[in-house]
A and B are shown apart, each in its own frame.
Chain A
Amino acid sequence: DAGVTQSPTHLIKTRGQQVTLRCSPISGHKSVSWYQQVLGQGPQFIFQYYEKEERGRGNFPDRFSARQFPNYSSELNVNALLLGDSALYLCASSRRTQDTEAFFGQGTRLTVV
């Protein structure tokens, strides 16, 4: 079975631009969460989606948005990029929303210049 897949793996953007990151969960997993990981820190929660509905949002500005599609894949959008948005963006899928292990993708390395 394929694991969680994210695309692209690396991305370089200019300040002020917009970016879309994509995630395909493990087959059968209905919950997708997004995390931002800055170098030397643990992942920080951004969004959780379950059955196409937003179930939770972390402490991130409105420039960050996401959605989940009928096939449970997900996109994370970031508008008006700042240098501080440079990070590894991780997608995790799970069978349910809580009390269960999360399976992470390899991440998308975003660099804002």
Chain B
Amino acid sequence: SQKIEQNSEALNIQEGKTATLTCNYTNYSPAYLQWYRQDPGRGPVFLLLIRENEKEKRKERLKVTFDTTLKQSLFHITASQPADSATYLCALDYSSNTGKLIFGQGTTLQVKP
């Protein structure tokens, strides 16, 4: 079955720096991969979706890459702010194009002023 691994250790960075989070998966390459943000006690909030034929996608200060050879996605937040502090989840389809998402355990980002 498909598995996702995110860095379980919290990432602490200084305000203004670029945060880079990693998502690695096993087995088959999904047709698309998603990133969500989750604040404590709240439901995840969708950030970006990247498809297998897209190498990179950007949205404001966010950038996602998708390397199907390495079976890895990188999530970047440039010019990070304390308000970016949250847990970031990587998600992909459970099996080909079923829409059943499986999530990584999330990486907690702490941006210090």
Contact = CB atoms under 8 A, between A and B. Distances in A.
Contact of B98 (A56, A101, A105, A106): A56
Interface in A1-43: 4, 31, 33, 35, 40-43
A102 B101 CA distance: 9
Interface in A70-113: 88, 90, 92, 94, 96-107, 109
Q: Interface residue tally of chain B, by bracket?
A: 20 to 34
B31 A99 contact: yes
A44 interface: yes
Contact of A56 (B44, B45, B100, B106): B100
Interface in B5-58: 6, 31-32, 34, 36, 41-46, 49, 51
Contacts of A45: 94, 100-102
A48 interface: yes
What is the size category of the interface that chain A forms with chain B?
Answer: 20 to 34
A101 B46 CA distance: 6
Interface string A48-59: 100000011010
A47 to B, nearest CB: 9
Interface string B93-112: 11001111111111000000
A109 B43 CA distance: 11
A106 B43 contact: yes
B97 A99 contact: yes
Contact of A107 (B6, B42, B103): B42
Contacts of A44: 102-103
Contact of A42 (B42, B89, B99): B89
B45 to A, nearest CB: 7
29 contacts: A4-B43, A33-B99, A33-B101, A35-B103, A41-B106, A42-B6, A42-B103, A43-B89, A43-B101, A44-B102, A45-B101, A55-B99, A56-B100, A90-B44, A97-B99, A98-B97, A98-B98, A98-B99, A99-B32, A99-B49, A99-B97, A100-B99, A101-B34, A101-B49, A102-B46, A102-B101, A103-B46, A104-B43, A109-B41
